[in-house]
Chains A and B, each alone.
Chain A
């Protein structure tokens, strides 16, 4: 889902800002976040020539903002540049689809050159009781394996690719190692995968410069409800049986017959109940 364009959510942010007027977030708006993953480079983010994010520091995440679908132009310059005429990344045009969820990342490519990547975030509903973890390789480093608790869970992930896992919720001890090895080049670090949440982890920085790090972004509210509440074992609490019992208690002659019937029904229900699951 990644487009190798330089992108910037900030563009959209600025565009929304400048175009806003009485704008209101609509159901069809896109959600855009921006992650800065270029070590040692504090930047300004420009949208259509307007400075939108000032002194945006490495390792920080901006957004999300709700933005109308459409094309946005952006550029990234050194901090405090007079204008956007000499960008260090871009300028580029990004397209946001209605209801899309995106993260634009300014990062290093595998060879260490500043670039940008535009990721589409999966915001589909997650099965009840589960969480999602996506790992994105946005670092100047060769292909890596991702380890959870010392065990490889993702193998051979290369810049700028991503891989997604659906997991039981919990806190993982996550480390990143060169592909085929288990000696961490990042971590281990605790990463919480919460139920109904899509956690996106970025490996960023540079192996050669010894400044590889993890960044994380959580997209919440993707939970879904259990399919049902199976509270039955045998039918002993059947509404019909219960009313028959009450009738028997209050009526004279017929009561004995009803009690017998009810008893017979109850006995017949003692057979091992199939465990209903629904």
Chain B
């Protein structure tokens, strides 16, 4: 549900007039129902919006009509370039560990998995999802757990205690601090992408690497180690 839709739906709701007839009352009730429908639909269905527009475009005003004016969002359909998103992270530290790592933006590998930076001492932020400090959803930062011969800084994730502070420096914005709430092992063969890479709901930071047992036949670990932290 985006805030714009909510605001517009609310703003365009017909204001109660002096009329107190049953018709006007019914009109308000119906308008309210449609407002509610808009709110609900934003949470349960693919969300459809026009390209970003300046707030309150004049043409968006729905004028009064003989029939009760429905709360139909109307806006210019002119193509717009995307508005800037939240500032990206560039560096972060985890208190009580040696994790002090630069962060690079990463996307998706050709095989559909999240890209992980090659250097063992560099972390990747999933740039298509929320950034640390965003109002909603999970910001995902991942790195290798090991090198070709040794452990890497993210091997310390599995031992983080609840309450540990994680501080993320951002480009052009104040740092944001998170507090660890838990560490979980998620079996790779039951990877729940929708919960790890969540774009709505409460803001969280997810630090992700591999863990559990090394499986020689798969040449991979059996699990992902996932640290969840919330804004401190």
Contacts and interface: CB of A to CB of B under 8 A. Distances in A.
Interface of A: 10, 13-14, 16-18, 20-25, 27, 29, 31, 33, 35, 50-57, 59-66, 99, 101, 121, 123, 127-129, 169, 171, 174, 189-192, 194-196, 199, 201-202, 214-241, 266, 269-270, 272-274, 276-278
Interface residues of B, number: 83
Contact of A229 (B79, B150, B208, B216): B208
Contacts of B73: 62-63
6 contacts: A17-B67, A21-B29, A229-B209, A234-B147, A237-B155, A270-B148
B21 interface: no
Interface of B: 29-30, 33-34, 36-38, 40-41, 44-51, 59, 62-63, 65-70, 72-82, 107-109, 111-114, 116, 120, 126, 128, 140, 142-152, 154-155, 158, 188, 191, 193-194, 196-197, 199, 208-214, 216, 218-221, 224
* Top 4 A-B pairs, shortest CB-CB distance: A225-B193, A129-B108, A235-B214, A215-B77
B41 to A, nearest CB: 4
Contacts of B36: 24-25
A17 B34 contact: yes
B112 A227 contact: yes
Contacts of A216: 50-51, 77-80
A21 B147 contact: no
A229 B113 contact: yes
B219 A128 contact: no
Contact of A220 (B44, B47, B151, B155): B47
A51 B116 contact: no
Contacts of B145: 231-233, 237
B78 A59 contact: yes
B34 A20 contact: yes
B72 A60 contact: no
Contacts of B113: 226-230, 277-278
Contacts of B40: 24-25, 66
